[in-house]
Amino acid sequence: MTYPLFAIIICQKFLGVEPNSERMTVDGTMIFRKSASQNPLKIAVVGCGGMGCNALRSIDLPPNVKKIAIASDRRKISNTGAKEEMIISSKDAQSSALAKDSHYADNDAESQLSYLLKGYDLVFPIAGLGGNNGGWLASLVCRSARISKATPLALITTPLNAEGIQKRHTSTHQLEALRKWGSAVVFKNDQILKEVPNLPLMEAFKVMNKVVATPIREFTDLDRGCLKELKKTFKISHIFRMDIAEWRGDDPIFVINEELQKSDWLSLNVLDPKCAIFLAKGFGINEAWATEFTERFASLCDHGHDIPTIAFIDDSVAMKEIRVTAIIGL
């Protein structure tokens, strides 16, 4: 079954991968096996604006993940637990988002932020689109990450339909600007309300904050040996969606793939996947299992072309079910 509140059940350490000896390529799929990593990815998470800073307050991250809070209003960055805080004007944020060159800082804010991000492998800006600041700040973070030679992957939410056409219009422009500077995993706020219609709005947003944080937890313990392949995948597509499916009965490869195909979070029935990242954990998972799983996924998509895929497998934790997190480039 597909878990609607998957953020609630993903509260444990995720995959680690040893380079070289713990990876292999099978029929175009790069497979990494979990082992105790001595060289994990260096990750920074940047809360952008109101939604992004709220997310920083509500998610628990390992101590090795750097938290940065940025907004145009000091009240929004208070009590986030961030190691660094920055006040950036809306004017500077939008100027950065619409700039044409990402090799050099466009303003003092970019210079300062790119300095803070230097030496990190992955940078996750978190933002809600449609407002005056967060979406533009996410682009500024992606630009700053590229200046500092880090790889940006934004985690963003889109406005509720009920919030009106102006917010949706602004959201579209912010997403277009962001795509110039990095990739993004896009989460629709309307989807969480569909999954939990009776939950009060503010509680639903708290659940969405945990959902949005899932990719950060997924990548926290991965070894730097996988970074090259991740970078290649993030260049194939700039827009990703995510869902989690799990099964504890017979034929999990078939059942989990069927659930992912039907997922409203992924919309694979109407969108053409360009690439895929799968993170699978459970007893009995191995390279052969991962190969069969990814082949099944490609056959169900049936779009007449290969789908570049990375699979991370983890059989180190005793659990009755098999769980797969799918991050699909569209």
Which CATH number is 116's domain given? 3.40.50.1440
Query: Per the structure, how many domains does the chain have?
Result: 2
pLDDT of 7 > 50? The answer is no
215 with 281, same domain?
A: no
Chain segment 191-233, per-residue pLDDT in tens: 988 888 888 888 888 889 889 999 998 898 888 889 999 999 9
pLDDT score of 22: 63
Q: How far apart are CA 256 and CA 235, in angstroms?
A: 27
Chain center to CA of 39:
21
230 inside domain: no
**Helix %, strand %, coil % for the chain, to 5?**
40, 25, 35
70 with 195, same domain?
A: yes
Q: How far apart are CA 279 and CA 219, in angstroms?
A: 9
**What global pTM score does this model have?**
0.88
- Where helices occur in 148-220 by DSSP H, the ranges are 165-179, 189-195, 201-219
Q: How confident is the model at residue 17 (pLDDT cuts 50, 70, 90)?
A: very low
CATH code at position 258: 3.30.1330.20
127 with 260, same domain?
A: no
The neighbouring-strand residues paired with 325 are 244, 279
Q: What is the mean pLDDT of the chain?
A: 86
265 with 314, same domain?
A: yes
27 with 55, same domain?
A: no
